[in-house]
Amino acid sequence: MRIGNKKLLFLVSLGSVLEYYDFAIFIYLAPAIGLSLIPAKNQIVNLILSYAIFSVGAVFRPLGGAFFSHIGDTRGRKFTFVYTILLMAIPTFLIAFIPSSATIGVWSVVLLMSLRMLQGIAIGGEVPGSIVFAYELSSQKYKALSSSIVIMGTNIGFVIASIICTLLLTPYFSVTDSWRYAFILGGIFGVISYFLRRSLTETPEFINYKKLLSRETIPMKVLFTNYLKPLLQLLGLGCFFASSIAVFTFYMPSYLSTFYNLPIKTLMQFNTYTIVIFIIGSLLSGFFDKYFGRTFFIYFILSFLAVVLLLFYNYSILNLNNILSIHVILLLGIGIICGRFPVIVASFFPVAVRYSGVAFVYNISFGIVAGCTQLVLTWLIKVTGILWIPALYLAFFAVFALISILTIKPYELINYKN
């Protein structure tokens, strides 16, 4: 990989770092955000409302994805890719300065929801653009590695968020308002990334495509007319991957501290370790992508299904070291399959609809499914009183992933020639 392409790949990955940093800090700090901005006294109800507001951004992601991917597939990748990161950063920064509910009442909730909507719209075009940029900037040999580095960037965002949130939970910071510092840092990082990205150039694949294009098309119409089967196959896989990562990274500290009374600070530290393992798995998938094909996916899904059913049924009798050991193994596998996913998604669509295809799959799975997982699970546990509901939730998506992978031919997972 040439030095110039390495620099471009670094600039591409900045957005995925910021997106998942924003994603993670809201989830990790949801209890504190709720106490400050949401006028509800019951702890579980407050947590559910916090997750509901977080999910608002996830619901608006497909809208942003449709808008920005249309521009990306018709006018070029660069314009959308440069400005989406700025549109992410500004709402992140402003969230830090929303007055508390004690000061302005329910208006704090209205402001938080509005800014989450803007974040969601921007994020809808950001990471799909990162995946497309990384894929199209790379030679055939490095497409899998470059795409996995984008996913590695998302997990670097996890790690940074986990470290910062752990620090903010120490006695040196105010329990009520310390969460605001995390959002200020995210906003500043986003603005810096915007200025760095302005030097990006258009991808060669898109330039060549535009030269050969005889007439304008509507990418979304072409996508749903000609590529419905790969859309459904990829959604089956993507929703499983997204739900798995949402449960075992975002949701786990809150879940174990709220329902099993385990220490949140220790859980946040453990979460940082498991995310590092996830990053290692993502890199392994990029370097050795040919070894992680259809057979690996099938065995992993079946093994994962068996482990999570046993795990969630036995959390009450496990100690923290047991939990950490099991999570490390699970996150290594999840890291590998999630690291493989971006290059597979990008390779299933030709350049004319690649941005639109990646955006649709990514925003439904890693947007709506991952974004609503915390809300759905917390609400289901409150309604049913069943603490192993997350296992059934993951099993539901695992079944659809298994059906999807069985309909995909083995060569389709390692052929990046479109």
Cα–chain center distance at 72: 20
Which ranges of 75-142 does DSSP label H, i.e. alpha helix? 77-95, 101-104, 107-137
Q: At residue 3, does pLDDT exceed 50? A: no
In a domain, 291, yes or no: yes
Cα–chain center distance at 212: 34
Split at pLDDT 50, 70, 90, the class of 226 is: very high
Cα–chain center distance at 401: 18
Structure tokens at 319: 């100690």
In a domain, 418, yes or no: no
In a domain, 212, yes or no: no
Structure tokens at 386: 């069943």
3-state helix/strand/coil string of 208-220: HHHHHCCCCCCHH
Q: How many domains does the chain have?
A: 1
For the segment 18-35, the average pLDDT, to the nearest whole number, is 78
Instruction: Return the pLDDT at 418.
Output: 57
For the segment 406-410, the average pLDDT, to the nearest whole number, is 93
Instruction: Return the pLDDT at 4.
Output: 46
Split at pLDDT 50, 70, 90, the class of 174 is: low
173 φψ region: left (φ > 0), alpha (ψ -120 to 50), beta (else): beta
Domain extent for 287 = 3-203+217-413
For the segment 358-376, the average pLDDT, to the nearest whole number, is 89
For the segment 310-317, the average pLDDT, to the nearest whole number, is 91
In a domain, 327, yes or no: yes
- DSSP state at residue 369: I
Report the distance separating Cα 25 and Cα 30, nearest Å: 8
Tell me if 190 sits within 8 A of 92, measured CB to CB: yes
In a domain, 22, yes or no: yes
Nearest residue to 263 via CA among 145, 403, 166: 166
Q: At residue 289, does pLDDT exceed 80? A: yes
- DSSP state at residue 42: S
Report the distance separating Cα 380 and Cα 395, nearest Å: 15
Q: At residue 11, does pLDDT exceed 80? A: no
For the segment 249-269, the average pLDDT, to the nearest whole number, is 83
Q: At residue 330, does pLDDT exceed 80? A: yes
For the segment 186-197, the average pLDDT, to the nearest whole number, is 84
For the segment 101-130, the average pLDDT, to the nearest whole number, is 87
Rg from Cα positions in the chain: 20
Q: What is the pLDDT of residues 121-143, one digit of tens each?
A: 888 888 888 888 888 888 888 88
331 vs 81, more confident:
331
pTM, two decimals, is: 0.84
User: 39-48, 75-84, 159-168, 335-344: which has the minimum mean pLDDT?
Assistant: 39-48
55 vs 95, more confident:
95
185 vs 57, more confident:
185
In a domain, 261, yes or no: yes
Residues 6+ apart with CB under 8 A from 258: 43, 44, 47, 378
Instruction: Return the pLDDT at 8.
Output: 66
Q: At residue 2, does pLDDT exceed 60? A: no
Q: What is the pLDDT of residues 343-362, one digit of tens each?
A: 999 999 998 899 999 999 99
In a domain, 208, yes or no: no
User: 61-70, 211-220, 221-230, 249-258: which has the minimum mean pLDDT?
Assistant: 211-220
Listed ranges 21-30, 31-40, 176-185, 384-393; the one with the highest mean pLDDT = 384-393
Instruction: Return the pLDDT at 6.
Output: 66
Instruction: Return the pLDDT at 329.
Output: 92
3-state helix/strand/coil string of 91-104: HHHHHCCCCCHHHH
Q: What is the pLDDT of residues 53-78, one digit of tens each?
A: 877 888 888 888 889 888 888 888 87
The percent of residues in the chain predicted with pLDDT above 90, rounded, is: 30
Average pLDDT score, the chain: 85
Structure tokens at 395: 């099993």
Q: Treating both helix axes as pointing N-terminal to C-terminal, what angle do 320-347 and 264-287 enclose, rounded to 10 degrees? A: 40
In a domain, 221, yes or no: yes
CA dihedral sign of residues 177, 183, 189, 195: negative
Report the distance separating Cα 222 and Cα 230, nearest Å: 13
232 vs 26, more confident:
232
CATH of residue 283's domain is 1.20.1250.20
For the segment 243-258, the average pLDDT, to the nearest whole number, is 87
The end-to-end CA distance of the chain, in Å, is 21
For the segment 27-54, the average pLDDT, to the nearest whole number, is 77
